[in-house]
Amino acid sequence: MTASSPAEPNAPILLEARDVVKHFPIRTAQGRQQVRAVDGVSLKVRTGETLGLVGESGCGKSTFGRCLVKLIDPTSGSVLFDGEDITHMSRRELRSRRTGFQMIFQDPYASLNPRRRAAATVEEPMRTHGMGTDQEIRARAIHLLQTVGFDESYANRYPHEFSGGQRQRLGIARALALSPRLLIADEPVSALDVSIQAQVLNLLADLQEEQKLTYVFIAHDLAVVHHIADRIGVMYLGELVELGGSTEVYNNPRHPYTEALLSAIPVIDTDTEVRERIVLTGDLPNPIDKPSGCAFSPRCRYAQDICRVEKPLLQIQLDGREVACHFPVATGAK
Amino acid sequence: MWRFAGRRALAAVLVLFAISVMVFLIFFATPGADPAARIAGRNASQETLAQVRASFGFDKPMYMQYGLMMRHLFIDRDLTSFVNRGSQVIPQITQAIPVTLSLVIGAAVIWMVLGIIMGVAATAGRGTAVDPIIMVFGVIGVSLPVYWLGEVVNLITQSRLHDSWFAWVPPLGYAPLSDGVGTWALHLVLPWMTLAVLYAGIYARVLRSEMVGAMNEDYVRMARAKGIGEGRVLIRHALRTSLIVIVSLFGLDFGALIGGAALLTEVVFGLQGVGKLTYDSLQNFDLPVILGCVLYAAFFVVVANFIVDLAYAWLDPRVRHV
Amino acid sequence: MSEPLLEVRNLRVSFRTRTGTVTAVDGISFTVDPGEVVGLVGESGSGKSVSMLTVLRLIDNPNCVIEGEVLFKGNDLLTMSDADLRSIRGREIAMIFQDPMTALTPVYTAGWHISEQIRAHEKVSKKAANDRAIQLLTSVGIPNAESRVNSYPHEFSGGMRQRVVIAMALSCNPSLLIADEPTTALDVTIQAQILELLRDLQSEFGASIVLITHDMGVVSQMANRVMVMYGGRLVEAGSRLDVMREPAHPYTWGLMGSIPPTDGTRAVRLAAIPGAPISPSDSDRDRCLFAPRCTFATDSCRPQPGLIEHRPGHSDACIIPFSERAQRRTEALAPMRART
Ligand SMILES: Nc1ncnc2c1ncn2[C@@H]1O[C@H](COP(=O)(O)OP(=O)(O)OP(=O)(O)O)[C@@H](O)[C@H]1O
Ligand SMILES: Nc1ncnc2c1ncn2[C@@H]1O[C@H](COP(=O)(O)OP(=O)(O)OP(=O)(O)O)[C@@H](O)[C@H]1O
Ligand SMILES: [Mg+2]
Ligand SMILES: [Mg+2]
């Protein structure tokens, strides 16, 4: 069973990332070095599909998300939206495409203008893109605020007068304002309690069904990603290490990192269920000084000599899963 | 940081070059009138015109003309004014520049110090009477016209009370630093104050609104939660982040003032600065002087902005890489 | 029983706004014992953050009205002098804020932030403080801490910033740590590591922790006691096992029923509590605030039911007779579970 309507397998590809790389220069005691935040990620997202992205904190998910909507320029590689290369587009060309893709930011407060009231925050993108008269815009803003659970008494409040989860919902309302076709949602529900989280996830699913929206959904809560996504991509140190159907990845991880990640999900009632938790040891992943060979090898319990020398490529396995590992975990070995 | 400074310096040089080219095009290459006639001024004789043509090479190709102009300005420094019967232009400018620099830098120090103190005090006194009182002073400062304030100051210090309270005030005009720092400062202290009042008012208001915004930020709350004193929260956190805005404002104002916007103050206090010089030359259509003033002023404006850029990068780590 | 470390009595926080009074916290009372971990859960906007900010008097809003008492080791924090309060802030009570992205002053490095905190309370040299900062950053799992200590906030990812804030809070070994969603921006492996660190703080230094979180898994791994908030009030409080296994209040039932399944099955739609959250500007407050969304609501939900201890250590604010709770709970949870 799937939550949202599964994307038709032959739906057109809406978003394609081709070998996207983003390096940040930083100064360190050893002089100038590069943070290899995103290190060659390629993937395709079909119209109407939800792609979940998970991975260690700092592995480059947000940076990749920003590259996808061209909020930052990738160091190399390109992003195709609807078949058009947006990475090398001029500002003017891009502006007309902007309404097509929106981003919900991880940092709800930092992305809100502190001097703008809630309703104005939601209206602002509609105004810049001239989407109707003042009244229409206002009405739509109020409607959007209601969809994310605010009554009208919230419309005139400033961001600092909202709670953490309320700010997050405000960010969602703003992203929806332009009726985008693609939504990059960076941790959109992390600050919400489970009940409102459920409402928001249901809302996203409804919108997807009605408007054939496409989502790239970045989150740490694996149960949430499993629920909302059709496919899950797992990132580690700026690379995609596993990509496959949501249920398959969740129930049957093939990359050792995915396996460790899933085993660390806190279980609700610790006294009734004990499952083996794989504790990751070894060097902490460092995007400045990446290990040779497989990036995960220093912490991998299955690592062998070849892993430290030769970098495994993302390869399609027999079951259709894409895994970047020399020794993928066997199917059904959970 | 060094790379950043290097890149900025390079950019500054390019800007200067671009300005000089533009000025050149405006003065010499606009089609229509004969540039020689414009340079020679009104009612110039035929010999003067011929002389001008030769010295600026108006029969030569454009880039040669540009080179010649630069040469007159910066290498030979022998640009002559024809309106004023052959007086040298560059010495006039190099005399005016220290006057303006003294005036503006002194005033800038005063208004920055005053503006920051007022802004911080108003922020600290939010919710008490201190804040509105300071802000009212700010508004008064902003709304007093410089020429009027200057005239009033002059009236009081030079005539009405000159024999009693203000006996120490020297006559109007400028005394160079070589006469001693004391004399120099004494001559400038009233012009400084007059010019600074306006800007101190503006800066205090801008800073207050920035800082009050910053006081609502999470990082200020975090700083308080650490148990550090309110003064430190105010200065090291709220003021430090708000300074970024002040500095960019400063870059604009400072550059404009050096470039001649201090004219009114210069006129009122009888200071022969760049503003006054430009103004006089405009009145006489004294093109060579205008030319010199524009380029020298541009030079200082660009240098001031370069320094502000560095200060900006030092204040805000986020701009260092971009 | 030893004297509680923190005792909050009838705390009420409201804001005057353009559109009327907003009651963010509506009379809550609770205690935190030494060495105890209290989990605080509840609806988004139910006043969790505001109530904890009030404990440290961190709400700096002239339109905010605070009533009640907050006793820390017997002294009322709300009436204490600023100087006394300062020596408690950061050293005795440390706080981790909810939004890690904005909790760091953008113009200073991670090391500067941590050193500032250490040097505010201890006389140590800059060098020593910096060394401790590096050590702390390593312990919260920042790779390459020696060079990352000089990075600015914008150069860190969301989770890394959160860890910097956590390192800062732990730097003076506080006796009470208020952690407002400390792990939301972290992936589960780092989350496990941070939770381990918090447990160390508790076991080695006997610190108490108030842990605000939305993640029931985290609550059940960490908390000794759980408190549930709705609409600015405590609606249920009890030991972790009591609340997780036999939740007593209908709101808690709804909350439990909304948790996305972790067992590998996939719901068509997630169950959610129907209706919209109560608005804190709602002035009709002398009633159970959950009643408009509650399937079991009756006329007796008005006036406001008090928090009653039905069995030792487990209290809730609901009028349903305690004997009927188990049955009602099954009724409430059945349709929610059925959808999976
Ligand atoms: N402007 C920057 N300058 C230098 N390094 C940066 C910059 N922005 C991000 N990084 C680094 O890039 C890496 C990836 O960051 P990113 O924000 O994409 O991580 P993330 O996967 O979103 O993590 P999280 O889940 O914690 O939000 C991190 O190591 C971070 O420190
Ligand atoms: N300065 C303010 N002015 C007006 N209302 C405010 C202000 N600060 C908070 N509120 C309101 O008080 C209520 C409680 O906010 P609080 O931040 O405590 O919620 P929370 O329980 O922490 O929620 P979340 O889980 O979403 O962070 C919210 O409804 C919020 O809108
Ligand atoms: Mg991120
Ligand atoms: Mg909160």
- Nearest CA-CA partner of A290 in A17, A52, A21, A3: A21
pTM: 0.83
What's the C282 CA to ligand 2 centre distance in angstroms? Answer: 14
CB A43 within 8 A of CB A235: no
Taking CA atoms only, the protein residue closest to ligand 1 atom 17 is C157
Per-residue model confidence (pLDDT) at position A275: 56
Range from B34-38, B201-205, B244-248, C47-51 carrying the lowest mean pLDDT: B34-38
Q: Residue C181: exposed, middle, or buried by beta-carbon count in 10 A (0-12, 13-18, 19+)?
A: buried
What are the sequence ranges of the domains in chain B?
Answer: 96-285
Q: Does residue C23 have its Cβ closer than 6 Å to ligand 2? A: no
Per-residue model confidence (pLDDT) at position B254: 87
B317–C107 C-beta distance less than 8 A: yes
- Ligand 1 pocket by C-beta < 6 Å: which residues? A 24, 26, 35, 37, 57-63, 106, 287; C 154-160, 185
CB B308 within 8 A of CB B251: yes
A8 assigned to some structural domain: no
Instruction: Name the residue of C11, C15, C227 whose CB sits within 8 Å of the most ligand 2 atoms, as the mutation to test its pocket.
Output: C15
A25–B218 C-beta distance less than 8 A: no
End-to-end, the C-alpha distance of chain B in Å comes to 11
CB C217 within 8 A of CB C291: no
End-to-end, the C-alpha distance of chain C in Å comes to 44
C94–B225 C-beta distance less than 8 A: yes
Chain A residues lying within 8 Å of B218, measured CB to CB: 109
Residues counted in chain C: 340
A135 assigned to some structural domain: yes
Place of tokens 């895994």: A323
What percentage of chain C has pLDDT greater than the value 70?
Answer: 98
CB A266 within 8 A of CB C217: yes
What's the C190 CA to ligand 3 centre distance in angstroms? Answer: 14
For residue C231, give Cα distances in angstroms to C52, C251, C288: 15, 11, 9
Q: Annotate C18-27 with b (16+ C-beta within 10 A) or e (fewer).
A: eeeebbbbbb
Place of tokens 């508004």: B139
> Best residue in C188, C251, C290 to probe A by mutation, most A CBs within 10 Å?
C188
Cβ contacts below 8 Å, chain B against chain C, sum to 79
Taking CA atoms only, the protein residue closest to ligand 1 atom 7 is C155
C154–B219 C-beta distance less than 8 A: no
Question: What is the number of helices (H) and of strands (E) in chain A?
Answer: 10, 12
Ion ligand 4 contact residues with beta carbon within 5 A: A 163-164; C 49, 98
Per-residue model confidence (pLDDT) at position C338: 62
Nearest CA in chain C to B242: C107
Residue A273 DSSP code? -
Chain centroid to Cα B81, Å, comes to 25
A1 assigned to some structural domain: no
- What's the CATH number where A104 sits? 3.40.50.300
Mean pLDDT of B147-174: 80
Per-residue model confidence (pLDDT) at position C249: 93
Residue A138, domain extent: 13-331
Q: Is B321 on the interface with A (CB under 8 A)?
A: yes
Q: Does residue A161 have its Cβ closer than 6 Å to ligand 2? A: yes
Q: How far apart are CA A315 and CA B28, in angstroms?
A: 68
Range from A222-236, B69-83, B126-140, B184-198 carrying the lowest mean pLDDT: B69-83
pLDDT digits (tens, 9 = 90+) for A117-148: 999 999 999 998 888 899 999 999 999 998 88
SS3 C316: strand
Per-residue model confidence (pLDDT) at position A21: 95
Range from B4-13, B32-41, C227-236, C244-253 carrying the lowest mean pLDDT: B32-41
Write out the CATH class of domain B96-285: mainly alpha
- Give the residue ranges of chain A where pLDDT is below 50: 1-5, 270, 273-274, 333-334
**Higher pLDDT among residues C296 and B291, named by residue:** C296
A75 assigned to some structural domain: yes
Q: Is B43 on the interface with A (CB under 8 A)?
A: no
pLDDT digits (tens, 9 = 90+) for C289-300: 999 889 898 888
Kindly write down the DSSP assignment for every residue of B251-318, as one continuous string. Answer: HHHHHHIIIIITHHHHHHTT---HHHHHHHHHHHT-HHHHHHHHHHHHHHHHHHHHHHHHHHHHH-GG
Q: Is B5 on the interface with A (CB under 8 A)?
A: no
Chain A residues lying within 8 Å of B222, measured CB to CB: none
- Give the residue ranges of chain C where pLDDT is below 70: 1-2, 337-340
Per-residue model confidence (pLDDT) at position B83: 67
What percentage of chain C has pLDDT greater than the value 90?
Answer: 51
C154–B221 C-beta distance less than 8 A: no
Mean pLDDT of chain C: 89
Rounded to two decimals, the ipTM of the complex is 0.86
Per-residue model confidence (pLDDT) at position B320: 67
Taking CA atoms only, the protein residue closest to ligand 2 atom 17 is A163
Please name every residue paired with C93 in a beta bridge, in sequence order, or none if there are none.
Answer: C89, C176
Secondary-structure percent of chain B, ordered helix, strand, coil, rounded to 5: 80, 0, 20
C62–B226 C-beta distance less than 8 A: no
Taking CA atoms only, the protein residue closest to ligand 2 atom 19 is C45
pLDDT digits (tens, 9 = 90+) for C25-52: 999 999 999 999 999 999 988 999 999 9
Q: How far is A213 from chain B (nearest CA, A)?
A: 34
Q: How far apart are CA B106 and CA B208, in angstroms?
A: 23
Q: Is B213 on the interface with A (CB under 8 A)?
A: yes
Q: How far apart are CA B150 and CA B152, in angstroms?
A: 5
Residues counted in chain B: 322
Q: How many folded domains does chain A comprise?
A: 1
Q: Is A80 on the interface with C (CB under 8 A)?
A: no
Residue C302 DSSP code? -
Place of tokens 């640009």: B79
Q: How far apart are CA A180 and CA C101, in angstroms?
A: 26
| Token code pair at residue B73 | 């300005």
Nearest CA in chain B to C165: B222
Per-residue model confidence (pLDDT) at position C227: 96
Taking CA atoms only, the protein residue closest to ligand 2 atom 6 is A161
Ion ligand 3 contact residues with beta carbon within 5 A: A 62, 106; C 158
End-to-end, the C-alpha distance of chain A in Å comes to 21
Range from B2-11, B24-33, B136-145, C67-76 carrying the lowest mean pLDDT: B24-33
